[in-house]
Amino acid sequence: MSWSKLKQQLEGFLSPALAERVAYRATGYRYLLDRPGICYLAVDKKDILNMNDRSSPIRWYETEQEVRNDPDIDVPVNPEEIEAIRMETKGAVPEARLPVIARSRKNTVHAKQLMLAQAALSKSNFTAAATTFLSTSIEDSLESPDILLNILALIDRRVGKKRIVNLFGKIKAKHPAVQYFYELRRSTL
């Protein structure tokens, strides 16, 4: 599918409140075969979703430790995970330490997932991800580990106010780029 056709379809699904603020942009280099074009999202005429731009307001993680130590990411731990740690350690660990151990393990897994999603975004083709978004359901795009699919779903007009409000807890554990577009969409409600 050509870029202009894809852009037209994506713009057709934009939330009416964001239609004037969000733009899909692409650059291509006709004579440089070894350098692919760059696609990015702009909000209020500022490039927002472009990993190569260091002036971006979105934080891009360099290591898993940065993700683990980020105070903005809250990974909840449920009682089943604490019970699994209790069974694994056979009661040798004090009760107060069980939630700490469970949260630490879950943070490590979450950090690895975020780093993989971020790396996939830097290597991926915007056009391929946008085509996937157009052919899958909104629920699948919101639940996907792919950052770009999450963002495209959040700014979609088919996602209503109630669903946006109900996503608050899940979005806190997502990449800062997804959090940025979530807050942008919430600000228009």
Tens of pLDDT, residues 74-99: 788 889 999 999 999 888 889 899 99
Q: Which residue has the higher pLDDT, 14 or 117?
A: 14
* Mean pLDDT to the nearest integer, 63-80: 85
Quick one: pLDDT at residue 44? 92
136 pLDDT higher than 90: yes
Q: Where does the pLDDT of residue 137 fall: very low under 50, low under 70, confident under 90, or very high at 90 and above?
A: very high
112 pLDDT higher than 80: yes
Q: Across the chain, what does the average pLDDT equal?
A: 83
Quick one: pLDDT at residue 71? 83
Q: Can you tell me the distance from the alpha carbon of 84 to that of 79, in angstroms, rounded to the nearest whole number? A: 9
* Mean pLDDT to the nearest integer, 68-72: 84
Quick one: pLDDT at residue 130? 86
pLDDT over 70 for what percent of the chain? 86
Quick one: pLDDT at residue 162? 93
Q: Can you tell me the distance from the alpha carbon of 101 to that of 85, in angstroms, rounded to the nearest whole number? A: 8
Residue identified by tokens 């580990």 is 145
Quick one: pLDDT at residue 127? 78
Tens of pLDDT, residues 2-59: 778 888 999 999 999 999 999 988 776 555 555 555 667 889 988 887 765 555 677 7
Q: Can you tell me the distance from the alpha carbon of 122 to that of 47, in angstroms, rounded to the nearest whole number? A: 15
Reading the block at residue 26, the tokens are 């692409």
Q: Can you tell me the distance from the alpha carbon of 172 to that of 189, in angstroms, rounded to the nearest whole number? A: 19
Tens of pLDDT, residues 173-186: 888 889 999 999 99
Rounded to 5°, the CA angle 119-123-125 comes to: 130
Segments making up each domain of the chain, as ranges: 3-57+124-187, 66-112
Q: Which of 1, 56, 39, 15 is nearest to 124 (CA)?
A: 39
Q: Can you tell me the distance from the alpha carbon of 141 to that of 185, in angstroms, rounded to the nearest whole number? A: 16
